[in-house]
Structure 1
């Protein structure tokens, strides 16, 4: 989500993609939400507007729909999904290092955790809710739809155990706060690597210059959290208020708006540098302040807990398979061209020079992929709308992200006086963030385990790009030795089996994504995205996490799925299908926790 990468609030939750052409960072090919799309609409983000039936538009009772890269069908029966890879899931991708599920030797190349609002009365798993709150407890950061979807999938897959999704706790912060904290080459008074708890209580030991405010972390959190109450009270008003500052980068907002008057002028520069180094990632403060607030709204929310999926997040997209007929999904279709033919669109993919014609096309691919395509005449017109679309495709920013996984003979980090169970370590060394797995709780520490030895974004991730996996693993292991000198890592480390492929990924190198996830620069929400989405008369529709306010989260892709399904149904004058979806039992069940019902007209006001 973006901007908080600290010891306590390690907000490096960026989830990238792989093996899929043009897939937004969540569920891609599985987004065919026949029964689910209806319920998603409620969580519309800003940038999502109320579509209208075009004037004099005749009803198309059975429009032929093409979903490039993934999609949603909304009860339509004449649709096809063109998927570049041979799998479903997109940027929800679990890397398995063993063929035996029970070994738990896996790591999440993409999405790895799910934010959930706490309800003291709710103890159910798999998205279930309790009788006391009836599923209506407030999920103030807007991710509840993900859990409703999981619950719904478990219902329809109740006789298919292989597709059941079991949620387990994701330990965001180690209970003892023993995650290592190593910045500025400073150690504690015993010359040990600091723990996060020690760092919190001993600012003077951190090695910052005197011009860094002792309250730099609290100041940063306050700069973001001052918007949270408005977002909680009225998501529509809160987003509109936040977008008044969309023209600011994180750096410019802190320097020009927030910090003056709170700390001496001469301290501002170094205080901001310390904030970015410990609470974010190198270079991210050049991006939009709105991104940082929405990140913080998820990561810093006081009423928050975290979940993940037992045996891997890949089980989420896989659970959609029973709801889809194979005939609807065309695998290994690498799209390279869209062409207008009358009021229809011809879609071309490699290996088929003729392509196929569709009434409506839904493009869910990351815009870096779309940038390589031949685009239709519609986008060559001189109108402002078409000009903005081309600008958006070229300019909207995607961030970098890299993950390096290591296999060890045992969970050495869970042993000793300063043991770590879950949570993370944070450092200014190249590895930046270490994520300790939560899914081994209760297992013997002597069993083999997978550790996310380095999780990086932005400029930190880019520094890995020129080197081979072997070189990056070597560097990662070297940095881990610094953080864990108590362990003999040369003895503990064991390379992954060659048959299971690489153990690291740098998302910008993936031709299916050309970047990890959308993370906009200043004014890109208001000047590009919102204007790009305003054209309800086009038969080419845009979806994916980059079209939502929740960048880099599964919920962003789900929100966009709802919006674009409604968009297509209204454009083809099938409003009755939309209403049928909303009034169905599944629609009512899936809509019960939606909060963004009042965001439809934000785009129209931009």
Structure 2
């Protein structure tokens, strides 16, 4: 499980090639290009024409300078060759590094890079043209010391937090990398026997994807577009374009194997006849649909507030601070990172709806009646924007096809059925020992181990709490120990026919909800509309405490409860068409996850996120729990890109980081 750097950045980038060398004049020869931007970072590449040893200093100054006394500033110093302190550069041939990191000052001037061995000039570059960097929208930061929740990424600010000696010499690429976790952000080492983590499609009754007898036990849809109902104007949800870009790359890499092709198809989120949450029923006892309830208010339950006038005032108060008009929806859809900064600045992460109402003077009962979210959930409302999308997509033949497309890329580099239970940092060698055992094996047996120079850890924090870990900082340790996780249960049922599409009021795709407790959301398949033969629907998607209660029920009892609900919703036809085939997945009981998604409580995201962006013990934490928009595939992928860049910068590989940035996040990131 020794992974070269390109394996760590699978599908992210092709590393930059070395530029051609310049003619040798000095023992140290600087390679082009000879341009730089004020306030930015870049790599310096050199070649050696002689075997020199001792203290090597690289400086910037007038091109005619021959001494360290006549320079503008020192870029950095290290020991090379056979010097007794040169062992830190053992990654390079003869302890002579060929790549360095240059943090260009904001007010730089033209000049040359100069190399000194001791006090003797041993290298001079061609003249550098130093220009001002073009203005970018981004003014955010990456780690503590500036804005704690900036617009995703600012590499210059990141490297400013480090001591000069930490980042002057770029690390060699011949390092050993371990990636823990095989969800979509990691996809390399797995405690289970499959790729994809919480992306999980179930194919009922042993069917194949081509038979379309499937539904999703994990993510099932991606919001792509908002439409203004008044003007007809549409605008994209930009962050989810990252997933489309990944799919394009995977399809290109796998173009010789049609079985690995990924194709998006429309996901029908809204349909006229999906059931609604109401206690009212049709004359035949079935549950009314959305269009019926909209046309006939008597089919909907009227709000039942203790004090209707006070409740209206409370709702208006919430709408003023957390409502969405056209402008705000577009802002979130265009740039969720900027929206995140604004949410931090306005205190949205520090209060829940109920807490805000109490602070605004409303009594406990009114605050509890009106609040639509739990007492511990912050006001950060990105999911409202997603839920208001007008167009959605899913992956034809199952979301599973996304992680499966990675299989050829990680073949021979992954250990399935391997459960990690500890990571030890070795101070002297600056390496990490990962301890693991076969999944399902004897927990008392001795651990197997693998050693790495760096690791990416995408395992959910609720599982890490039981691991042996290095002595992380207080903030990182508290994040691991305290970050909240949601629970969920999904139940999919197969019927002999797609009877819901042939009711008096046909249900053609879409998701709905009912007032039958513990059923939650119901979603009808968007694929194969009006196809003959069996069909599969998501009969119940329940979260949080209801999920824990449902999963405590014996499986047969729970399925019987859901099937009775299907009959109440659709009529006796649901019993006639019942095949007895189903699958239930309790994410809270899943030993590889112990929960569905991260659900940061009040203040947790604002407090803990900076810790994820500060590399400790050569470990970078990634995964949806470390991202901005928890619970969505985008968040996992975004964290993977961020983690890769973070590691590249820790190693001083600025050129490679810039290439990844340009390819994957160029419209957001400042580098």
Q: What does 1:193-272 correspond to in 2, within 5 Å? A: 193-203=287-297, 205-209=300-304, 211=307, 223-225=322-324, 227-231=328-332, 235-243=336-344, 244-254=347-357, 256=359, 268-269=366-367, 271-272=369-370
Q: Aligned equivalents of 1:33 and 1:216: distance in 2?
A: 49
Q: Aligned equivalents of 2:215 and 2:221: distance in 1?
A: 12
Asked if the contact 1:48/1:533 (under 8 Å) is kept, the reply is no
2:579 to 484, 488, 494: 494
Could you say which residue in structure 2 is the equivalent of 1:566? 645
Could you say which residue in structure 2 is the equivalent of 1:60? 171
> Secondary structure at 2:348's aligned position in 1?
coil
Change (3 A) 1:221 1:192: farther
Could you say which residue in structure 2 is the equivalent of 1:181? 276
Q: Aligned equivalents of 1:255 and 1:54: distance in 2?
A: 46
Identify which range, 541-550 or 153-162, moves more after superposition. 153-162
Asked if the contact 2:489/2:585 (under 8 Å) is kept, the reply is yes
> Secondary structure at 1:357's aligned position in 2?
strand
Find out whether 1:409 has 2:409 as its counterpart.
Answer: no
Deviations 1:152-204 (A, max 9, x none): 22222222100111111110011xx2111243x22358865322223335556
Change (3 A) 1:233 1:443: closer
Aligned-pair distance for 1:307? 0.6
> Secondary structure at 2:528's aligned position in 1?
coil
Q: Aligned equivalents of 1:216 and 1:80: distance in 2?
A: 46
Aligned-pair distance for 1:54? 5.1
TM-score (norm 1): 0.75
Q: What does 1:9-48 correspond to in 2, within 5 Å? A: 33-36=9-12, 48=152
Asked if the contact 1:37/1:565 (under 8 Å) is kept, the reply is no
Q: Aligned equivalents of 1:239 and 1:418: distance in 2?
A: 42
Aligned-pair distance for 1:421? 0.7
> Secondary structure at 1:180's aligned position in 2?
coil
Change (3 A) 1:435 1:37: farther
Change (3 A) 1:32 1:93: farther
Asked if the contact 1:46/1:548 (under 8 Å) is kept, the reply is no
Aligned pairs, how many? Answer: 503
2:418 to 327, 330, 333: 333
More strand per residue: 1 or 2?
2
Aligned-pair distance for 1:535? 2.2
Find out whether 1:577 has 2:656 as its counterpart.
Answer: yes
Aligned-pair distance for 1:537? 5.3
Change (3 A) 1:37 1:287: farther
Aligned-pair distance for 1:252? 2.1
Aligned-pair distance for 1:71? 8.0
Change (3 A) 1:163 1:559: same
Q: What does 1:263-302 correspond to in 2, within 5 Å? A: 268-269=366-367, 271-272=369-370, 275=372, 284-290=374-380, 293-301=381-389
Asked if the contact 1:37/1:72 (under 8 Å) is kept, the reply is no
Aligned-pair distance for 1:83? 1.9
Could you say which residue in structure 2 is the equivalent of 1:513? 593
Asked if the contact 1:31/1:561 (under 8 Å) is kept, the reply is no
Q: State which structure, 1 or 2, has the greater radius of gyration over its C-alpha atoms.
A: 2
Change (3 A) 1:221 1:295: farther
Change (3 A) 1:71 1:518: closer
2:264 to 167, 178, 184: 167
Q: Aligned equivalents of 2:283 and 2:580: distance in 1?
A: 35
Find out whether 1:528 has 2:608 as its counterpart.
Answer: yes
Deviations 1:239-270 (A, max 9, x none): 2221222111133235545x97xxxx899447
Change (3 A) 1:312 1:201: same
Q: Aligned equivalents of 2:364 and 2:559: distance in 1?
A: 41
TM-score (norm 2): 0.68
Runs ≥4 in structure 1, deviation > 6 angstroms? 42-45, 213-222
Asked if the contact 2:437/2:447 (under 8 Å) is kept, the reply is yes
> Secondary structure at 1:349's aligned position in 2?
strand
Aligned-pair distance for 1:507? 0.4
Unaligned stretches of 5+ residues in structure 1: 1-29, 74-78, 121-136, 277-283, 380-385, 497-501, 601-606
Asked if the contact 1:31/1:71 (under 8 Å) is kept, the reply is no
Find out whether 1:85 has 2:192 as its counterpart.
Answer: yes
Asked if the contact 1:216/1:271 (under 8 Å) is kept, the reply is no
> Secondary structure at 1:327's aligned position in 2?
coil
Change (3 A) 1:119 1:36: farther
Aligned-pair distance for 1:81? 3.6
Could you say which residue in structure 1 is the equivalent of 2:222? 114
Find out whether 1:550 has 2:550 as its counterpart.
Answer: no
Identify which range, 139-148 or 532-541, moves more after superposition. 532-541
Aligned-pair distance for 1:330? 1.9
Could you say which residue in structure 2 is the equivalent of 1:22? none
Change (3 A) 1:419 1:80: closer
Aligned-pair distance for 1:138? 5.8
Change (3 A) 1:330 1:190: closer
Find out whether 1:596 has 2:655 as its counterpart.
Answer: no
> Secondary structure at 2:339's aligned position in 1?
helix
> Secondary structure at 1:503's aligned position in 2?
strand
Asked if the contact 1:337/1:347 (under 8 Å) is kept, the reply is yes
Q: Aligned equivalents of 1:96 and 1:348: distance in 2?
A: 34
RMSD: 3.4
Q: Aligned equivalents of 1:369 and 1:451: distance in 2?
A: 31
Deviations 1:12-43 (A, max 9, x none): xxxxxxxxxxxxxxxxxx9954232689xx99
Could you say which residue in structure 2 is the equivalent of 1:105? 213
Asked if the contact 1:171/1:438 (under 8 Å) is kept, the reply is yes
